[in-house]
């Protein structure tokens, strides 16, 4: 965990923070609810909306940026092993998050059946566990190490690249 | 964690320390059961109580500290051991050395005490050289490394005092040496290690920013000054100096706990599980043990006060803290070992089942509580009941340790993700 002077690392850290906040809420909601929520459960619907939005952001932009820009940079100066481990986790979490996001969207629209809710719970709890552990590794090792590797010029370039990636949708 | 994959040791190395620590914990509680009639009156001297105490301090606390530091320090300091044989040598010397020493204390067997003490000291010596060399080349992590260096100084002092008592070369009375030895061992070597590791592990577990470096170092300086004064006061038999030192230790311990509490409050991860129930409890009992100790030496008219202070420090603070930390780091390291072996990244719950930890937590708290009641009331059955809970809890912890190890080996054999290809190694245009 770090307090970096670099914009790009602070941005990624803030996104981790937002994701963690959602995951904590999701875990609480799923752990305590063995039966499907009612269609008009506004708290659950708001949470499902957040799941959809945050997971989409985390997967499509955050992961893609790390894989395209940060992992190669890290592998050049650091250790390929760590990036292979993180990439391996991306490859497991990405389809899981996509599926969960779609289930959240469908659940918000049509409600959950007992079966679809059980599937959502199972996938959700797995995602929480995997993503928290993944963020833990990035916060404690990956981002602090990058903090030692990049300079302010690279920070500006990386920040710009991330903005472009997000703007491109 | 940069380069962590290349710096992870073969899992058999840290796990031999972790497994040995669980076995020594079972042994310690077992010896307390059989010496229940002596526990409330313990004032030093060989026998099962002293043996149980050293099975806990050397066999559990130092054992876990060695296993964890061999594995965690290269990862966090971004350093590698040039060779693994000294690490293995340290285990070959230390693990059986502690056993011989504990057996020697239990049976009042001079040769076993001397040979066990020599082996354990040699193992610790190798360990200090290995970790010392690693820390000399490490940059950053000033709070952690400062605590470890200070702990090593305390280790030298406590080993000298310990060997002095075994070989009778201390100029002071045995009780005086024993008080200084216990103070330096519990609050010096083991306490500083616990505080130093907390500075990196707690932020990691809770996903929090580390504490401000200056504040942590100031806390360490206050605590360290207290330790030096308390040790000097004990050896020189100067009560006022000892109390002053203990007072500074108390201030340092309270400040350390406040720093840790602030970290948790700001941490991203709020659900920290059973392990943090143990860790938070230990943080409460850390300053309480010192406060009770101060009351004990200040003439409070209640004879077992010092024994209670020792009990609170050893069982309430250190044992509880170390078991809490150990149950967090074992699955974490196991998951990294699985990834290193090319296995599919596992879920933490796939590596660590919760049942043994729940059994352990319940039994541990019951054991510590009953032991405390037994010491205060001098009730032998309460101590025996506490020891039985302690044995069951320690067996549950051994079960957990072996289970994590087994699951790690199985997970490591599962195939990795087939399309796990790295992006280009060239720096991408940004």
Q: Is it the case that residue B1 has pLDDT exceeding 60?
A: no
Host domain of residue A75: 7-167
pLDDT tens digits, one per residue of A119-145: 888 889 888 988 888 888 888 778 877
Identify the CATH number of the domain in which residue A75 sits.
1.20.120.520
Q: What is the tens place of the pLDDT at every residue in B350-388?
A: 787 888 999 999 999 999 999 999 999 989 999 999 999
Mean pLDDT of B89-108: 95
Q: Does residue A35 surpass a pLDDT of 90?
A: no
CB-CB under 8 Å, B4 with A135: no
pLDDT digits (tens, 9 = 90+) for A41-93: 788 888 888 888 888 777 778 999 999 999 888 877 766 777 888 888 898 89
Specify the pLDDT at position B225. 95
Position A108 in a domain? yes
Which of B205, B419, B425 is nearest residue A75 as measured by Cβ atoms? Answer: B425
Of residues B2, B339, B419, nearest to A141 (C-beta): B2
Binary contact (B430, A20; C-beta < 8 A): no
Is the per-residue pLDDT at A169 higher than 70? no
Between the CA of residue B243 and those of A106, B43, B236, what are the distances in Å? 67, 20, 13
Rounded CA-CA distance B49/B159 in Å is: 20
Mean pLDDT to the nearest integer, A5-24: 86
Confidence band for B118, pLDDT divided at 50, 70 and 90: very high
Superfamily of domain B9-413: Cytochrome c oxidase-like, subunit I domain (1.20.210.10)
Per-residue confidence (pLDDT) for residue B420, from 0 to 100: 38
Q: Which residue of B has its CA nearest to A159?
A: B430
| Distance of residue A110 Cα from the nearest chain B Cα, in angstroms | 31
Q: Are the Cβ atoms of B345 and A89 closer than 8 angstroms?
A: yes
Mean pLDDT, rounded, for B268-284: 90
User: Smallest Cα–Cα separation from A71: which of B44, B367, B421?
Assistant: B421
Q: Is residue A2 part of a domain?
A: no
Judge whether B154 and B194 are in contact, CB under 8 Å: no
Which is nearest to B392 in space by CA: B5, B78, B33?
A: B33
- Is the per-residue pLDDT at B48 higher than 80? yes
pLDDT at B15: 93
Asked if B207 lies within 8 A of A1 by C-beta distance, the reply is: yes
What is the per-residue burial (b if ≥16 Cβ within 10 Å, else e) of B297-322?
beeeeeebbbbbbbbbbbbbbbbbbb
Residue of A nearest to B342 (CA): A85
With beta carbons under 8 A apart, name residues in chain A contacting B425: 72, 75-76, 80
pLDDT above 70: percentage of residues in chain B: 92
For an interface test with B, the pick among A133, A149, A157, A161 (most B C-beta atoms closer than 10 Å) comes out as A133
Q: Tell me whether residue A102 is in a domain.
A: yes
* A92 and A84 Cβ atoms separated by less than 8 Å: no
Any domain includes A1: no
Instruction: Sort out which chain A residues have CB atoms less than 8 A from B349's CB and list them.
Output: 129
Token code pair at residue B251? 């201030």
Asked if the Cβ–Cβ distance from B1 to A76 is below 8 Å, we say: no
Size of interface A-B (CB pairs under 8 A): 127
Q: What angle do CA B252, B255, B260 make, to 5 degrees?
A: 125
Record: contact B417-A145, CB cut-off 8 A: no
Residue, of B273 and B218, whose pLDDT is higher: B218
**Tally of domains within chain A:** 1
B212-222 tens-digit pLDDT: 888 999 999 99
pLDDT over 60 at B157, yes or no: yes
Cα B101 to Cα A2, A134, B94, B109, distances in angstroms: 44, 43, 10, 9
pTM of the model: 0.86
- The residue ranking higher by pLDDT, B381 or A6, is B381
Report yes or no: B57 and B314 within 8 Å, Cβ to Cβ.
yes
Q: What is the pLDDT of residues B382-417, one digit of tens each?
A: 999 999 999 999 999 999 999 999 988 888 776 554
| pLDDT for the residue numbered B7 | 64
Interhelix angle B380-413/B354-377, nearest 10 degrees: 160
* pLDDT band at residue B343 under the 50/70/90 scheme: low
pLDDT digits (tens, 9 = 90+) for B321-339: 999 999 988 888 888 777 7
Contact A120, A86 (CB under 8 A): no
% residues pLDDT > 70 (chain A): 96
Q: Is the pLDDT of residue B232 over 70?
A: yes
Burial class of residue A123 in the structure, from the number of CB atoms within 10 Å of its CB (0-12 exposed, 13-18 middle, 19+ buried): middle
**Nearest CB partner across the interface for A161, out of B335, B336, B430:** B430
């Amino acid at each position: 965990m770090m307090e970096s002077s670099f914009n790009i690392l602070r941005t990624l850290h803030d996104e981790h923070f937002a994701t963690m906040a959602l995951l904590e809420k999701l875990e609480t909601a799923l752990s305590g609810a063995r039966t499907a929520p009612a269609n008009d459960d506004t708290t659950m619907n708001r949470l499902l909306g957040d799941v959809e939005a945050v997971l989409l952001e985390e997967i499509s932009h955050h992961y893609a940026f790390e894989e395209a820009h940060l992992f190669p940079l890290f592998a050049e100066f650091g250790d390929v092993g760590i990036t292979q481990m993180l990439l391996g986790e991306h490859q497991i979490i990405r389809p899981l998050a996509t599926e969960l996001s779609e289930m959240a969207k469908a659940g918000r629209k049509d409600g959950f059946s007992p079966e679809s809710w059980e599937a959502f719970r199972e996938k959700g709890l797995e995602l929480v566990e995997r993503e928290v552990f993944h963020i833990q590794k990035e916060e404690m090792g990956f981002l602090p190490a990058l903090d030692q590797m990049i300079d302010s010029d690279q920070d500006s370039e990386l920040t710009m690249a991330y903005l472009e990636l997000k703007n491109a949708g | 964690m940069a380069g962590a994959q290349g710096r992870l040791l073969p899992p058999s190395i840290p796990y031999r320390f972790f497994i040995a620590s669980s076995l020594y914990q079972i042994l310690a509680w077992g010896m307390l059961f059989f010496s229940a009639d002596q526990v409330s009156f313990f004032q030093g001297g060989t026998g099962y109580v002293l043996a149980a105490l050293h099975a806990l301090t050397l066999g559990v606390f130092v054992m876990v500290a060695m296993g964890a530091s061999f594995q965690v320090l290269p990862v966090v300091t971004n350093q590698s051991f040039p060779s693994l044989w000294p690490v293995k040598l340290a285990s070959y010397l230390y693990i059986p050395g502690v056993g011989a020493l504990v057996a020697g204390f239990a049976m009042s067997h001079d040769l076993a005490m001397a040979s066990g003490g020599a082996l354990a000291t040699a193992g610790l010596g190798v360990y200090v050289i290995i970790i010392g060399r690693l820390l000399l080349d490490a940059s950053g992590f000033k709070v952690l490394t400062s605590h470890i260096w200070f702990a090593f100084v305390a280790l030298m002092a406590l080993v000298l005092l310990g060997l002095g008592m075994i070989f009778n070369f201390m100029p002071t009375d045995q009780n005086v040496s024993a008080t200084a030895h216990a103070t330096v061992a519990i609050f010096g070597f083991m306490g500083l290690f616990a505080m130093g590791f907390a500075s990196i592990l707690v932020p990691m577990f809770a996903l929090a920013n580390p504490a401000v470096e200056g504040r942590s170092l100031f806390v360490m300086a206050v605590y360290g000054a207290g330790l030096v004064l308390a040790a000097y006061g004990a050896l020189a038999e100067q009560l006022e100096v000892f109390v002053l030192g203990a007072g500074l230790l108390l201030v340092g311990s309270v400040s350390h706990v406040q720093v840790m509490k602030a970290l948790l409050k700001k941490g991203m991860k709020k659900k920290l599980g059973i392990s943090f129930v143990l860790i938070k409890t230990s943080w409460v009992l850390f300053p309480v043990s010192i406060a009770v100790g101060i009351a004990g030496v200040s003439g409070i008219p209640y004879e077992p006060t010092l024994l209670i202070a020792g009990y609170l420090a050893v069982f309430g603070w250190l044992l509880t803290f170390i078991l809490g930390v150990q149950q967090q780091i074992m699955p974490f390291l196991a998951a990294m070992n699985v990834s290193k072996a090319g296995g599919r990244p596992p879920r933490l719950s796939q590596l660590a089942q919760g049942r043994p930890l729940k059994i352990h937590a319940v039994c541990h708290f019951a054991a510590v509580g009953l032991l405390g009641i037994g010491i205060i009331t001098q009730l032998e059955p309460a101590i025996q009941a506490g020891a039985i809970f302690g044995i069951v809890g320690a067996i549950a912890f051994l079960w957990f340790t072996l289970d994590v190890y087994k699951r790690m080996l199985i997970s490591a054999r599962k195939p990795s993700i087939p399309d796990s290809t790295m992006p280009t190694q060239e720096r991408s245009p940004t």
